[in-house]
Structure 1
Amino acid sequence: MHKTAIERKQFTEGMLIDLGIPYIGHLPAIEEESETQLRSPQEIAKRILVLTYLGYIGEVEEDKSNVVDFLKSENLWSSASPIEQRQFLSKEMFNPQELIDISWRSECVWILLWAIKKYDKIDLPTVEVSIEDILDFLPDFMSSTEEFIENSVLREKSEILDQSDLLYRLHWAVRNCDNEKMSLNPGVVRERHYAINWLTYYEQLEWDDITTDT
C-alpha cells in the first residue's frame, strides 16, 4: 500500500504504541517513496553471499585463500567492499573485535534475504537469527551462485520503506530508552538498520561507510 512519508511515520508510531515501545514524535519522516532508490535484487543477493562467506572465514580462517578463489570464480569478488577485500586477503588472524563484528553481519544477511523474498515474514528484532535458518535459503557451500542471484526478486518499495521507517524508530528507542521493558535486541536492531540503509542508498553511501543515524 502506498503511503506518503508522513503517513508511514504515523503508521509506525501507531505500531510502536501497540507494542509499548517508546518513540518521539519529532523524529523526522524518512524519504518519500518517489525519492528513494533501491539496490537491485542481484546486487543484494551478491552482498548476501559476500557477507556469508566472510562469516565463514571468521570461523575457519585457514580457508581464506580458497574462499577468495571461489568468490573470484563466481564473479563476486568485486561485490566485496574495500574493507572486506582486505579482510579476505589479510595474512593476519582476525582480532576479537573483528570476529564479533563479522558474526553480527548475519543479521544483515537475514533482513536482506527478506528484501529479496527468500522468506515471507520478518519478525521484530528481538532475537538473533541462527546460522541454520540462513543456510536454508542459500546455495550449497562453494556451489554455483548463479541461480540464487538471477532468481532474486525485490519486494515492493513500500514494504521495504515500512521496514526502514520501523527500524529507524526502533533504533532510536534502544539507544535512548530502557530496553529491558521492550525486549528488543539492540545488536539485531543495529545490523538490520545498517543493511536497510545500504539497500535504500541512505545518504548515497556504500557498504563500509553506512551510518545509522537516529
Structure 2
Amino acid sequence: ERLGAHSPAHLPPVLGAGEVRLRTPEETMRRMLALCAVAVRAESLSSEPLSLQDIATKLGAGVAALTPAERDFIERDAPDEETWANHGWRYESAALLQWALGLSEALPPPTAICDAGQIARIAIDHADEARIAQASLRPLPELLDALDGVYRRHWLVRQARLDEREPPIGLHPSVVYERHYALNWLLRFDEQDWDEVGTPT
C-alpha cells in the first residue's frame, strides 16, 4: 500500500510459520543451480548453443539436479519458442533462491529483470559440493514476508490483465510469476515437485 497499490482485504493469508515444512538448504542450492543451467542453455540458443556437456563443466551439480522436463529441454536441439522463453525466465527463479540462500543481499522490487550474468556467476561460484554442503537459508519470517508480498503483487498483476490495463506500480508480470513459483516450491505449497508448482491467487 505504501507503494500505491491496494490488494483486497479478502485475500487469504499465506502459510504461517507453524505450517511450513521448508526445503533443505542443500536441496534449495541444487535447485538454484539447475535453474541456472536451463536458463544458460536458453540464453545460448540465440547465439552459440551450449550442450549439456558444456553446461556441466561449470554447473555439474545443477545438471545432476535437472527435472525430466528440464533435461528434455536442454537435450533438445530446437525447442519450440514458448518452451525456450519459459526456461529463459528461470534466471528470475534462480535469483529468488539465491536471495533465500543469502547469496545476495537484497531482493529488489519485481519491476525489472535481474542481471542474468551476475546470477550465472554466483551460481558457478557455488556449484561445488563444499559450497552446497555449507548452504543455509534466511530466517523463516523473512521468507514468509517475501511470499506474502509476491502473492499480493501477483494478484495485482492478474487483476490488471483481466481489466486489460497495465500492471500497477511498474510490476513486471514475468518477474512476479517466477518469484511466486520459486517461493511456493521452497515453502512446499501443496507439496508439489518443481515441474508441477502452482501459483494460485
TM-score (norm 2): 0.87
Match of 1:156 among 139, 149, 159: 139
Q: Hey, what's the Cα distance between the residues in 2 that align with 1:203 and 1:59? A: 31
Q: Counterpart of 1:28 in 2: which secondary structure?
A: coil
C-alpha spacing 1:82/1:152, structure 2 compared with 1 (3 Å): same
Q: Unaligned regions of 5+ residues in structure 1, if any?
A: 1-16
Conserved 8 A contact 2:153-2:176: yes
Residue identity in the other structure for 1:50: A
Q: Does 1:36 align with 2:46?
A: no
**Counterpart for residue 154 of structure 2:** 171
Q: CA RMSD in A?
A: 2.2
Residue identity in the other structure for 1:56: V
Residue identity in the other structure for 2:67: S
**Counterpart for residue 25 of structure 1:** 9
Q: Does 1:122 align with 2:101?
A: no
**Counterpart for residue 192 of structure 1:** 179
Conserved 8 A contact 2:30-2:61: no
C-alpha spacing 1:174/1:43, structure 2 compared with 1 (3 Å): same
Q: Unaligned regions of 5+ residues in structure 2, if any?
A: none
Please list every run of at least 4 consecutive aligned residues from structure 1 whose deviation after the TM superposition is greater than 6 angstroms: none
Determine which structure has more spread, i.e. the larger CA radius of gyration. 1
Deviates more, 1:80-89 or 1:153-162: 80-89
Q: Does 1:134 align with 2:119?
A: yes
Q: Counterpart of 1:182 in 2: which secondary structure?
A: helix
Q: Does 1:89 align with 2:75?
A: yes
Conserved 8 A contact 1:58-1:94: no
Identity of aligned residues (%): 29
C-alpha spacing 1:69/1:189, structure 2 compared with 1 (3 Å): closer
C-alpha spacing 1:57/1:181, structure 2 compared with 1 (3 Å): closer
Q: Hey, what's the Cα distance between the residues in 1 that align with 2:184 and 2:156? A: 17
Q: Hey, what's the Cα distance between the residues in 1 that align with 2:3 and 2:99? A: 22
Conserved 8 A contact 1:106-1:131: yes
**Counterpart for residue 189 of structure 2:** 202
Q: CA deviation at 1:74?
A: 4.1
Q: Does 1:147 align with 2:168?
A: no
